[in-house]
Amino acid sequence: MQNKSPQRDEIVSLITQEEDRQIKMIGLIPSENAVSPEVSEVLSSCLSNKYAEGYPGKRYYEGNQIIDKVENLARDRVKELFSVPYVNVQPYSGSPANLAIYFALMQPGDTLLGLKLANGGHLTHGHPKVTGSGTFYNSVQYGVLADARIDFDEVRELAHKHKPKVIVAGNTAYPFELDFKKFRAIADEVDAWLVADISHVTGLVIGGEHMSPVPFAHVVMSTTHKTFRGPRGAMIMVTDEGMARDPKLGKKIDAAIIPGLQGGPHNATTAGIAIAAAQAMRPEFTQYAKRVTANATALAEGMLARGVQLVGGGTETHLMVIDLTRLGAGLGTQVAYALDVAGIYANKNTVPNEPGSPFYPSGIRIGTPLVTTRGMNTAEMKQIAEWIARVIEHTTTEQLPKDLKARRAFLKDFKKRAKTDKVLRSIREEVEAMATTFPLFKW
């Protein structure tokens, strides 16, 4: 990052520091990735100067001759990529995109059936009490079985009992492939709309590494910044199935975005989506998707071989959840912190039948999109697995106290000690030596 102003701005300096951190560390948060220089370039372009409320050919502001072309390109490329008849690329991000879909398909108080947050669902899938989706709608939630796979008997039972208007099939911390065909069969039994939220696995779907929801779901939503490797944003696709059920569905989704929930679209983001979509059509992208899953498998195998337990015993996708329950309840917080000190960042996560709590969970969620984008392969995954195993062994000898006050005091002290811990510091040196040999983005 260049600082062109004579006076070194504090923000520019912070961006340089963040760039340095991203290069030196190993990022294993499965929802994160790095964009190509081409996507990055258009994000800082003059396109963001322009207001373009409305849609191509039907704007509320003048001067959108070029912006219309940009948005049409983005829509056409996404349509081609997924073979869908209708696309909206304007959602500001995944969460408002899901709300827009619900807004288009339901009335307040109608029933929404989604996967529990604690079992790998997303907040916007009807998480009760604290979310919009869980308060504007009557939210009913399904979970997973002891083997961590979706309990389709429960999905069917709840669907028949509560007659949801919308069933959401999607996840953020579920290591297995989602069977959209089974979801659709249940949706048909109760005349519900099937919404597939593939935010996490879009890149895998494009690369043929994950079942496509397009033949089964009526509406498909995806963020654009995860495995898709585009800018922060989202896209909503209406499939042939959706258009067959309601030919006006595309227009309804458009209206739910604006005037329903949003104002002007972020045109620079739209341009970034157009570029990312074109890049996703390249054979190299398919290779990347294959490497993402191969790397996840290698990482899982490497950890399992060192006695690290995984939720469901492994992964079929880009992500896995380390299960620390055998070592003690609620150890996710301290292990995630220790990993960060050791140069590897991930996030704490609940495990099915969590014995800890959402804030002190017993799992760590990790994934391979970013390390794969950086050019790392299975050899590096084996090495990362070893580092993770060493950190876990080193930091789980101390149990998290049950008493809340003692717990806070323990974690405060644990963090203080971790920062200067010799073992963690030496792992960090090894991590940095390896990570700095890889760029942030590589084809």
Give the residues lining the site for ligand PLP (CB under 6 A): 31, 93-95, 98, 122, 124, 170-172, 197, 199-200, 223
Q: Judged by CB, which is closer to ligand PLP: 95, or 139?
A: 95
Whether the ω angle into residue 213 lies within 30 degrees of 0, i.e. cis, is no
Pairing of strands 166-170, 111-115: parallel
Buried b (16+ CB within 10 A) or exposed e, 33-45: bbbbeebeebbee
Say if CB 267 and CB 67 are below 8 A apart.
yes
At its nearest, how many Å lie between ligand PLP and the CB of residue 231?
Answer: 11
Q: What span, in angstroms and rounded, lies between the C-alpha atoms of 432 and 434?
A: 5
Q: Of 52, 32, 79, 36, which Cα lies nearest the Cα of 275?
A: 36
Positions annotated as catalytic residues are 51, 53, 197, 223, 226, 232
Tokens (6 digits) for 187: 């949706």
Classified as helix, coil or strand, 138 is strand
Length of the chain: 443
At its nearest, how many Å lie between ligand PLP and the CB of residue 314?
Answer: 20
Residue nearest to ligand PLP (CB): 94
At its nearest, how many Å lie between ligand PLP and the CB of residue 117?
Answer: 11
Q: What span, in angstroms and rounded, lies between the C-alpha atoms of 295 and 351?
A: 22
Q: Judged by CB, which is closer to ligand PLP: 93, or 357?
A: 93
The DSSP secondary structure of 177-209, one letter per residue, reads ---HHHHHHHHHHTT-EEEEE-TTTHHHHHTTS
Q: What span, in angstroms and rounded, lies between the C-alpha atoms of 304 and 364?
A: 14
Q: What span, in angstroms and rounded, lies between the C-alpha atoms of 166 and 263?
A: 25
Q: What span, in angstroms and rounded, lies between the C-alpha atoms of 277 and 274?
A: 5
Say if CB 345 and CB 26 are below 8 A apart.
yes
DSSP class of residue 381 equals: H
Specify the amino acid at residue 89. Answer: V
At its nearest, how many Å lie between ligand PLP and the CB of residue 162?
Answer: 21
Torsion angle of alpha carbons 299, 300, 301, 303, nearest 10°? 80
At its nearest, how many Å lie between ligand PLP and the CB of residue 397?
Answer: 34
Q: What span, in angstroms and rounded, lies between the C-alpha atoms of 38 and 26?
A: 23
At its nearest, how many Å lie between ligand PLP and the CB of residue 226?
Answer: 6
At its nearest, how many Å lie between ligand PLP and the CB of residue 178?
Answer: 10
